[in-house]
Amino acid sequence: MTTMVRERPDSRTPKPRMCFECWEEKDADEFDVGPSGFRRRTKCRACLARLEEERQERRRARIEAQKSRTWQDDDGVWWRRCTQCREEKPLHTHFAVNRRRKNGAVVYLYECRKCSSKRTTEASRWRYQVSPEARRKHLEADARWRARNPEKATECARKAWLRVKNDPVLHERRKRLKREAAAARALAEGRTPKPLLAVVPEEIRAARVPARQLATACDEYVAREVRLGNEDALGRLFAHMTVEAGQRALYAWRSGERVSVSLDEADAVLVALGLLWWDVWNEDTVRLWEYTFVRKRWSRSRKRWERTRSWTVGDRGPDLEELERVRVAFEGVPEEVAA
């Protein structure tokens, strides 16, 4: 009698797999083992080779593009095209050294010294405005430099004063800031501060300016301060009123409940923001719109309808008349025009 024995399939034999790149079912031998040592990769060997070749091709193209921005003329002078201003300048005089390799080769930046200085200056100014720690370090470094170079410090201060003095707007703003700082010191020392003088006439001081643009600037300032860990940004922004009143005013400006704000209040907020009026109200922010939609809700406490949101559609360009009214409110009417 013959006994039939059925052979059991080897359970350790790998099964066919689906490649996640070409989406074809292939044998398991077509897949390499991953870093774990027992799991196979999700892409087959052929697809991985093709992807690596494409990556190397992109790298070679990038290197060739970088070489095309740098060339040598007939006189032996190396030139490079700046990636920011797109101007062609001599390499060794207008580009800073990025690093030096072990073989002695020097690698230069692809950004010229002028553009690099402009970018770093803007970044430093932004950090000075939003970060108290950066502001403290900057002031300490400035004091150390002034102690080491008293003559240069005096000359720089003289040039800065002449630049402010020749600009009427900056001159008036500097005087007002000095008066406000003196009043704050007097209050801190327990003395009676001198009354602050108005920069513009009373009829112009009673004017009002659009509130939505000021609310946008306040929201950006508060968001930056919160990212830096300063939770009391709103309190510093509305130091001339309580925090609750500041929150209510900001909500009213943002939602459109208050379409305008008094010049005194706007000026106090601008001082806290460290901005000038044209940084908030300009051709990019003050626009003419075809339609304005308003959403309202009934307030049970105030027994009236209040705006909760407003949005606009149909941009028709900058509102030059409104910009002129804002400029006159902050700067006043020129003497030759008033005459």
**What does pLDDT average to in each consecutive run of 10 residues of the chain (339 residues)?**
49 73 85 79 87 89 74 82 86 86 82 89 81 86 90 87 76 74 80 58 61 86 80 72 76 79 82 83 80 71 72 73 83 51
Report the helix count and the strand count for the chain, using DSSP H and E. Answer: 14, 11
The β-bridge partners of 33 are: 40
| Cβ 20 vs Cβ 43: under 8 Å | yes
Residue ranges of domains in the chain = 45-116, 131-166, 167-197, 202-338
Give the model's pLDDT for residue 12.
57
Give the model's pLDDT for residue 192.
73
In the three-class reduction of DSSP (H, G, I as helix; E, B as strand; rest coil), residue 221 is classed as: helix
| Cβ 308 vs Cβ 295: under 8 Å | yes
Give the model's pLDDT for residue 299.
76
Give the model's pLDDT for residue 148.
92
Give the model's pLDDT for residue 195.
59
- Give the whole-angstrom CA distance, residue 101 versus residue 291: 61
Residue (of 200, 173, 214) closest to 328 by Cα position: 200
- Give the whole-angstrom CA distance, residue 163 versus residue 170: 9
Give the model's pLDDT for residue 293.
67
Give the model's pLDDT for residue 144.
92
